[in-house]
Amino acid sequence: MSAPTLQAAPATRPLRTARTRHYAMCPPTHFDVVYAINPWMHPGTPVDVDRALSQWAGLVAVFESLGHRVDVLPPAPGLPDMVFAANGATVVDGRALGASFAHAERRAEADLHAGFLTDLGIEVHRPQHVNEGEGDFAVAGDWLLAGTGFRTSTAAHAEAQELFGRPVVTLHLVDPRFYHLDTCLTVLDDLHGQATVAWYPPAFSAGSQAVVARLFPDALEASEADALAFGLNAVSDGRHVVLPQQAGQLAADLAARGFEPVGVDLSELLAAGGSVKCCTQELRAPRTS
Ligand code: ARG
């Protein structure tokens, strides 16, 4: 009897496929650092709004050059963190869970964001519990990964599961420098329904590290230096990964896995503790199947 034929392993790295995305972004017209709600913020730090605006416009141009659609959320005076549009809601399957900010300084952003989404024809569920949108919620395949520890409450995780009908995996954040999930974990693709993530394990509790390792055995680990450069605050379309250009090792590791890293300079926004992903909210369309 001859031995069963084994399927040949792919000789090359996987072919990464981009999917066209729809983003909401808000220009840093009123950007400033006048309060401190994370360890990166030092009120009194001089802020160059023109530089922030041109860096932000560069990010918009990158997304558009990749074929993505960007809708602009109008900025409002007195809300210096509004540029971080990812925090304003979570949009999955064409439905939105509105944000409820942990800190009073940002609370007024939630209604502006909800009104903007409503005008786009997206139904917004008003939240009952504190959640900071895609700062702490990440879609990974059919699941939602959800951070807690500094901002979003676990009650909001349950609220999101009920609204979206997707399993929510709670992950505990333990390092205040990585106060949102999107500062220490990024979803790169959904290849064959199995998501690939990159992350910085020390930002998570021991139990949550074990959960991520179990769900994503291929997860890419970022160095501390790249995590501190906000390298994980990245936006991927499945093929192109837009990330801060300072995260050089991570970019090289992504390329080795078949992704195309696209480095951008958003250094001015680091004074408020944010970068690429913080500026970018994804508007996910209703499911077609
Ligand atoms: N200064 C903002 C805050 O602390 C930064 C938000 C960054 N956004 C993000 N999605 N991580 O709330």
Each residue's pLDDT tens digit, 143-161: 999 999 999 999 999 999 9
Q: 37: Cβ below 6 Å to ligand 1?
A: yes
Strand 22-25 with 69-72, pairing: parallel
Q: What pTM was computed for the model? A: 0.94
Within 10 angstroms of residue 280's Cβ, the number of other Cβ atoms is 26
The CATH class of the 22-282 domain is alpha beta
pLDDT at 190 over 90: no
CA of 169 to the centre of ligand 1 (A): 21
- In the predicted model, what is the mean pLDDT of residues 42-54? 96
Domain range annotation of the chain: 22-282
Q: Over the stretch 249-261, which tens digit does the pLDDT of each residue have? A: 999 999 999 999 9
Q: Are the C-beta atoms of residues 239 and 208 closer than 8 Å to each other?
A: no
Q: How confident is the model at residue 287 (pLDDT cuts 50, 70, 90)?
A: confident
pLDDT of 1 reads: 43
**Pocket perturbation via mutation, ligand 1, pick of 33, 38, 186 by most ligand atoms within 8 A of CB:** 38
pLDDT at 12 over 90: no
pLDDT of 2 reads: 47
pLDDT at 4 over 60: no
Compute the distance between CA of residue 270 and CA of residue 230 in angstroms, rounded to an integer.
8
Task: DSSP for 48-75, please give it.
Answer: -HHHHHHHHHHHHHHHHHTT-EEEEPPP
pLDDT of 83 reads: 98
Q: Which residue has the tokens 């399927």?
A: 7
H helix runs in the chain, sequence order: 49-65, 109-119, 154-164, 206-215, 224-228, 248-256
pLDDT of 13 reads: 63
Q: How confident is the model at residue 28 (pLDDT cuts 50, 70, 90)?
A: very high
